Structure 1
Amino acid sequence: MESSGAMETDDSRGVSSAVGRLIETWRDDILQRIHGYVELETPTSDGPALNTLADALQHRYCALGADVTVVPVGAEGAAGSHVLAELPGRGQLADASTVLLLGHSDTVWPRETLAGMPWSVDGDRVAGPGSFDMKSGLVVIETALEVIRTLNLPHRPVRIAIAADEEIGSPSFQPLLATMLDTVGCALGFESPHPDGALKRGRWGSTRIDLTVIGRESHAALDPDGGVSAIDELVDQLRQVRAIVDAANEGAASPAVLLNVGTISGGTRANVVAGTASALIGLRFLDAAVESTVLEQIRGVRAMRSGAVIDITVLSSRPAWIPTAANDRLLERMTHAAASCGLTLSARAAAGAADTNLPGARGVPTLDGLGPRGEGAHARTESFSIESLLERIALLVAFLTLAE
């Protein structure tokens, strides 16, 4: 985001100045809070680690005056906990439509990553596993609400929903999220923005599939015909999947479907015909129509070898989010909020999927990328900009306190 020359009223300039001064005063505390969250390494499905962070978030939201609910994932939170919070509006905005704020507590990094990738601050850059994706985004949310509370500003009702399994497609969070959408006016995601700081106003659909083949083991030399190679069958099935995707993209100026085979496993020994094999497949879809067609065709594949059994399981699926006129109106409101604190912004669609896919696809006005600028999500170069972090806090304050 960059400075803007937009005209402001005396009142808005005064509030904006007070907000900016308070955020700057809290600068060190804000970084310490992110540091604390990063030190709580929270890989997906690590229940004890994720529950520790859920407890910290619950404490923070309660201190801000929110009604908090912790939803365990798995038996008694064995895979972590989602955190939900409701904060009523205040003043002349008390009856405004509710703003849904979306984030996640899990990261792609295993425990002990900090040993070789430690937290560091170098000028404007802060690095550390999970700092950019997306613990800095979590702190944008809570700090903005703390600023509003401290300055006693009127604000819209807020609902916070923090997923514990976003990095694997939110399989347990998405059904929970779906129950919230009828009662919110818009949804904001605090994932990372585009590299230039632009917000995300649409996302490709994303589906993760497990393709497993059951064959039959036999001695590879003494009884080769007695076996059915699951690995050979899997290779041919992957060729079929590739052909389906290529057909969907045929004649298009740019791909409408992206395919990535992320992992392959199977077999036991070189002298044993493989009895099982599987692949984890990631698919991205430009729109719902091509998604429906391709997934239907993939589900319809049949084994090529007598005796082989194919099992296709959809592990997670996020629908394509196509921008609408309602999205444009939300972007106008966000742009106005940015101007009120001397900032400008832009927005465009993104290929990556996130929890904002669901509200966006369901027609809820949605924007994502409200976390700070940075780089290296899921990479060892992961870092974010302090200046951008402080700007994002000010932007969220301005949006939540903007009169309708």
Structure 2
Amino acid sequence: MNLPLMMDRLRSYVEDETPTGDAPALNAFADRLVHRYAELGGTARRVAAATGDHVVADFPGRGALSDAAPVLFLAHHDTVWPVGQLAGAMPWRVEDGVIHGPGVFDMKGGLVILESALGAVSEADHRPVRVIVVADEEVGSPTARELVKAESAGVVAVFGLEPPHPNGDLKTSRWGSTRIRITVTGREAHAALDPESGISAIDELVDQLIAVRKVVAQHNHVLCNVGTIEGGGRTNVVAGSAWSDVGFRFVDPETEAAVLAAVTALPAVRDGAVVEVKVMSNRPAWQPSPATDELLAKVAAAGAEIGQQVGGAAAAGAADTNLTGWLGLPTLDGLGPVGKGAHAVHEQAIAATLTERAALVAAILRTI
């Protein structure tokens, strides 16, 4: 594996900023991926979505495994960072063997790792390989869910290119993740002359969020984060509308069902206020399974052949591997570079782990 070449490609990917929802930027990057996968011997296509196109690529198998069931790799090309982040608070830089910049860790490093591994096994016997690169993973993959379900049919195993655990361990299960939007409609009125005629949507939303916290407190192993609040307009007008996006994490489907049932049934506190709750995206809990344990053992054996020790552990964060794990497919995640700072301004990846992870992915392709 050629680390300088990998770093050059990673820099070019990072400098091509791709915020979630920026369809022109994401589509331009998707074109780059389609071209790159064709260079590596695959057949790739863009799959249209209003908020940015996804990419699906198929690489033929070779030798005795050419007709075997494919392995699937899941990745994404959107990031949480807006255009301009690179020129502002997060410039590309390499210091003491650590790469800094928006998306180096989550997860353009994973894209470069996969490309390098595919190039490394071009002359080796291996199964067919399918790749799905999602454009809206950072908001729960609402437009990619059915695509992932369809393209994962018939695969022998699924590998995610998300970041690993801090010590490099792979991820063997994930909590479920659901994002909801609470929308409140009230009634506007003059805040001083006629406040009694108004119904404050903001006050109602605040009370709804307190009620949500009380629901969450009744259950173990539930995470809840109020990510966005908007509403109202002027301080002399009773707010007529307000909304909030709330993210939940669940350890199991039963808890998820109970919490969502309670939250969606919360009544309005104020007479005349209208409260609506909509599920914006959902990733079911991917729970531990013998199939994943068996896959981890095979990956550990592949790693041992190249002098790498591979471990695995459960993860709280969610990703597209939630879906394949939930579907019962043997699934592992965390084949991206080792680093830290996902979704934070100190996002970084250890440069040397780019080649290490690419070597591991290549070993997986040759042996699984």
TM > 0.5 fold call: yes
Give yes or no for contact 2:34–2:46 (8 Å, CA) kept in 1.
Answer: yes
Tell me the percent identity. 52
1:202 to 173, 178, 182: 173
1:188 to 142, 153, 159: 159
Q: 1:284 corresponds to which residue?
A: 249
Give yes or no for contact 2:3–2:352 (8 Å, CA) kept in 1.
Answer: no
Give yes or no for contact 2:3–2:354 (8 Å, CA) kept in 1.
Answer: no
Q: 1:82 corresponds to which residue?
A: 54
Q: 2:76 corresponds to which residue?
A: 104
Q: 1:154, 1:260 → 2: CA distance? A: 46
Q: 2:82, 2:192 → 1: CA distance? A: 41
Determine helix, strand or coil for the equivalent of 1:219. coil
- 1:225-268 deviation line (CA, Å, top 9, x unaligned): 2111111111111121111111123xxxxxx2111111212112
Q: 2:293, 2:318 → 1: CA distance? A: 20
Where do 1:18-97 residues align within 5 Å?
23=1, 26-74=2-50, 79-97=51-69
Is residue 257 from structure 1 mapped to residue 230 from structure 2 by the alignment? no
Determine helix, strand or coil for the equivalent of 1:132. coil
Q: 1:318 corresponds to which residue?
A: 283
The Cα of 1:379 is off from its aligned counterpart by: 1.1
1:133 to 101, 106, 120: 106
Q: 2:195 corresponds to which residue?
A: 224
Q: Which amino acid aligns with 2:115?
A: E
- With normalisation by structure 1, the TM-score equals 0.89
Determine helix, strand or coil for the equivalent of 1:107. coil
- 1:69-95 deviation line (CA, Å, top 9, x unaligned): 211221xxxx32100001121111213
The Cα of 1:97 is off from its aligned counterpart by: 2.4
Q: 1:264, 1:311 → 2: CA distance? A: 15
Is residue 248 from structure 1 mapped to residue 248 from structure 2 by the alignment? no
Q: 1:81, 1:182 → 2: CA distance? A: 21
Q: 1:82, 1:62 → 2: CA distance? A: 16
Q: How many residue pairs align between the two structures?
A: 367
The Cα of 1:123 is off from its aligned counterpart by: 3.2
Deviates more, 1:226-235 or 1:364-373: 226-235
Deviates more, 1:137-146 or 1:376-385: 376-385
The Cα of 1:65 is off from its aligned counterpart by: 1.6
Q: 1:35, 1:277 → 2: CA distance? A: 40
Q: 2:174, 2:3 → 1: CA distance? A: 32
The Cα of 1:363 is off from its aligned counterpart by: 0.5
The Cα of 1:375 is off from its aligned counterpart by: 1.1
The Cα of 1:28 is off from its aligned counterpart by: 1.4
Larger radius of gyration: 1
- 1:87-119 deviation line (CA, Å, top 9, x unaligned): 121111213321110100011111111112211
Q: 2:84, 2:214 → 1: CA distance? A: 41
Q: 1:236 corresponds to which residue?
A: 207
Q: Which amino acid aligns with 2:162?
A: E
Q: 1:148 corresponds to which residue?
A: 121
Determine helix, strand or coil for the equivalent of 2:239. coil
Gaps of at least 5 residues in structure 2 are none
1:115 to 87, 110, 114: 87
Kindly indicate which of the two structures has a greater share of residues assigned to helix: 1
Determine helix, strand or coil for the equivalent of 2:328. coil
Q: 2:135, 2:230 → 1: CA distance? A: 27
The Cα of 1:294 is off from its aligned counterpart by: 0.7
Q: Give the aligned CA root-mean-square deviation in angstroms.
A: 1.1
Q: Which amino acid aligns with 2:61?
A: G
Is residue 394 from structure 1 mapped to residue 359 from structure 2 by the alignment? yes
Give yes or no for contact 2:163–2:335 (8 Å, CA) kept in 1.
Answer: yes
- 1:257-301 deviation line (CA, Å, top 9, x unaligned): 111111212112222111111111111001111001111111111
Q: 2:258 corresponds to which residue?
A: 293
Where do 1:1-16 residues align within 5 Å?
none
Q: 2:301 corresponds to which residue?
A: 336
Q: 1:6 corresponds to which residue?
A: none
Is residue 165 from structure 1 mapped to residue 108 from structure 2 by the alignment? no
The Cα of 1:221 is off from its aligned counterpart by: 2.1
In the TM superposition, structure 1's runs of 4+ consecutive aligned residues that sit over 4 Å from their partners are none
Q: 1:97, 1:175 → 2: CA distance? A: 20
Deviates more, 1:164-173 or 1:86-95: 86-95
The Cα of 1:389 is off from its aligned counterpart by: 1.1
Q: 2:349 corresponds to which residue?
A: 384
Give yes or no for contact 2:17–2:82 (8 Å, CA) kept in 1.
Answer: yes
Where do 1:336-355 residues align within 5 Å?
336-355=301-320
